[in-house]
Amino acid sequence: MTRVAIIGGGIGGLTAANALTRAGIEVAVYEAAGELKEIGAGVALHPNAMRVLRSIGVEDAVRGIAGRSQWQWTRARTGRVIARSTPAQQAASFGLTGATVHRADLLDVLAAALPDGIVTLGKRCTEVLPGGDADPPVARFADGSEATADVIIGADGIHSAVRTALFGPDAPRFTGKICYRSVIPAAAVAGKQVNTDGAQWFGPHGTIVVYPLRGTDLLNVVCHYDDDGYRHESWVTECEGAEVLERYADWHEELLRLFAAGDTWYKWALYDRDPIPEWTRGRVTLLGDAAHPMLPYLGQGACQALEDGAVLATAMAAGAADPSAGLARYEAARRPRASRVVLAARERGLSNHQSSRWAAWRRDVAIAVRRRVNRRDPEGRGTSWLADYDATSPDVLAG
């Protein structure tokens, strides 16, 4: 039986572990932290991600802890609604609906679905040796221990030690954009009841995404803005809520009421990375943010990691007698699509942050026209190819 070691116990790593286990492949997961945990934030799971969760048997559990919402696209200063998309429209277009969940809740579901003993905590990877035809790959950890397997998967995030060991440090490019985030109890918002639908607010030099978690109990808030003066990339640096209120002072009052209810805010700078030309060395490859870190403007970071996990399992099962061939199939199937998503997210960030009234008007009209002429594009942004993709299809390795 093929043995796979996964470095990283986040959403991508645990999804891959579930998919590989269901394919009859022996899996071990090594996580650097002392417990399985995620940052306190939400994640949007589009139909392409939900197909993967269905295939590994956890869709119902995820929907049980998901937000309840439909979506709308809104001008941030006036509150004018540009377009709306209902769950029924999404189901009619793609065969199933997406979901919005707390990252920690999703991680709990994925971990609970795994057999006992698969995950080992407190294992921070410092180096990998890719191995070759005769020698297995080796992962080395900070505590001096090692792990060998037929295949090693680097699912250790945007600052991946595995990617660095294989290809050297990356070269992030500062985008001139920053991000604020908070998770806010809906009941804490003062005044009239706040809208708990998912919403994207377009404003000059920025965009804000709000969507519900745990039914409608919590609201995940992610605020982007053009600012080239702050360059710290960490997701866990706190800032004062007053800074957020000041930054968006002339945006819609509903947003300001929501922001005022946020107890804890985080701030980070957005860095971009070009798609890398290869993911695999020897019998070591990459998955999720370790392979294709991307800007958040398409809400596809976690979705692409889930796709990776499903396709990896299919590729490894198809090439069970030759792990190297399995990795080659995986990369050939995934790298072109993931690279396309990276570049599309980059372009979406430019579109969302239009500062020209004329450019913003053209964007809004294009959304309305696309939705009218193409019923399979409920967002009106020309990206139905994202939700259409089925990473669980038997034909996924065909290209």
Catalytic positions are 211
Between CA 59 and CA 42 the distance in angstroms is: 17
Between CA 327 and CA 312 the distance in angstroms is: 7
Spell out the alpha helix ranges (H) of 232-356: 241-247, 253-260, 301-318, 323-352
Between CA 63 and CA 118 the distance in angstroms is: 25
Q: Can you give the length of the chain in residues? A: 399
Q: Which residues pair with 203 in a beta bridge?
A: 206
Is residue 345 within 8 A of residue 360, CB to CB? The reply is no
Q: Which residues pair with 211 in a beta bridge?
A: 220
Closest CA relative to residue 152, chosen from 171, 135, 169: 135
373 DSSP 8-state letter: H
For 78, the 3-state DSSP assignment is coil
* Cβ contacts of 117 within 8 Å, gap of 6 or more: none
Is residue 7 within 8 A of residue 125, CB to CB? The reply is yes
Is residue 363 within 8 A of residue 354, CB to CB? The reply is yes
Between CA 258 and CA 194 the distance in angstroms is: 7
For 31, the 3-state DSSP assignment is coil
Between CA 130 and CA 327 the distance in angstroms is: 12
